[in-house]
Amino acid sequence: MPLTPSWLDSANSPDTDFPLNNLPYGVFSTDTLGSRCGVAIGNMILDVTTAEAQGIIDLTDEPLFELPFWNDLMEQGPAVWTALRNRLTALLAKGSKDQALLEPLLVPLADATLHMPFVVSEFTDFYAGRHHATNVGTMFRGPENALPPNWLHMPIGYNGRASSVVVSGTDIRRPWGQLKSPDHDTPAFLPSRRFDMELEMGAIVGMASDGPLTVDQAEAAIFGYVLLNDWSARDIQAWEYQPLGPFQAKATATSISPWIVTKAALEPFRVPTPKREVELLDHLKDTGPMLYDIDLTASLAPESKHATTITRTNYREMYYSAAQQLAHHSTSGCPMNVGDLLGSGTISGPTKPERGSLLELSWGGKEPITLDTGQTRTFLEDGDAVTLAGHAQGEGYRIGFGTCAGTIRPALKNPYKR
């Protein structure tokens, strides 16, 4: 699919993340405007809340954009999702008769503060990237037992904390927790020493359900995608995770990018899941190309230093798609809510430069990586800034996600010390 030209010149640049083909949804404010819904287009944001108030966008009997989140639109379902995208495309397309109406509603991206784009109902994180799971399993169990026996049969996941999902740009405080050294019989309460990032994608559920979903029904229920960094305290995790899995190690924060890229924008970039080594059960079988060709990077910048790209990978490396994750999630009858967030799991490729976490890049801390500054890292240090970025490449345009960034701040003083 070629670029759809817009009357806004910056939207026609091959380097912008936000051409007319994209139209991602976010929430923004400025010095003079309170938090409101907006759509990124080129180097601007269209104030959708005001466009609806002025009758330029009129989709339903009740307003959808009075409140600063996109959940109200999600609840309307795919027909209204499509109607909004079609209306926005018509308004912003080259030759539109509505250009004069829209121009006063455009706000420079550079002048805006971006906020959480939706209310997160629940957060579930998966472990669905084969290269990542193989790397981690090899480190801890050896290559013969790298994958758990269930891994090739279903997407493994755990229920996380919706309350600690934050928008890009939010500082991340190094967590305290119980750390257990192999050399000591008892744990100590200390700040995490092996704090890590995880390069993931997040899928947003746009339709509620109350019973098992097929893969195709799950696919239809997904509203859009964000970049996701599931910050992880590896030393806390190593002590706590047996037998029930991650808990406090994953509860510090999960950062997401501020723009929801819709499924419709990603449609031209569908690719198949990998060849199956083991036939999946009926409720998980592939029904078509359910992944996307999205180039992903992670960079690390020490405090007051230039950034180094430490990872280059692609979303197509996942073993299970978001639709398969959602379908499996629903099999128990678990109700799924509008605004549920599903983390893909760390996205790693087959080679070292494609590994999506420092745990893998430094091979458990045994092989420090060297940054462009000459500094080395095994895990994150205070002041380090991690930035995720991603885009799907089209013919003369790109469908971008913006960035997902967070900076590590020192742990608070021990709140329990007497």
pLDDT confidence band for 184 (50 / 70 / 90):
confident
CATH architecture of 9-115: Roll (2.30)
> DSSP class of residue 311?
E
pLDDT at 225 over 90: yes
pTM of the model: 0.97
Q: What integer pLDDT is reported at residue 395 of this predicted model?
A: 94
> How do residues 96-154 score in pLDDT, each as one tens digit?
999 999 999 999 999 999 999 999 999 999 999 999 999 999 998 999 999 999 999 99
Catalytic residue among 132, 328, 329, 391: 132
Instruction: Let me know: does 294 contact 315? Beta carbons within 8 Å.
Output: yes
**Could you tell me where the DSSP H helices lie in 116-243?**
130-141, 215-221, 234-240
Q: What integer pLDDT is reported at residue 181 of this predicted model?
A: 81
Q: For the chain, which residues make up each domain, given as ranges? A: 9-115, 123-409
What are the start-end ranges of the E strands in 206-307?
222-230, 232-233, 254-256, 261-262, 270-271, 291-292, 295-301
Q: Which CATH superfamily is domain 123-409 in?
A: Fumarylacetoacetase-like, C-terminal domain (3.90.850.10)
Task: Establish whether domains 9-115 and 123-409 are of one fold.
Answer: no
Selection from 244, 240, 360 nearest residue 298 by Cα: 360
CA 413, distance to chain mean position in Å, is 31
Burial 15-39 (b: 16+ CB within 10 A, else e): ebbbbbbbbbbbbbbeeebebbbbb
Distance CA 226, CA 19 (A): 17
Q: In this structure, which amino acid lies at residue 287?
A: T
| Alpha-carbon distances of 16 from 42, 256, 277, 401, 415, rounded to whole Å | 6, 20, 39, 10, 45
Instruction: Let me know: does 384 contact 22? Beta carbons within 8 Å.
Output: no
- 131 tagged catalytic: no
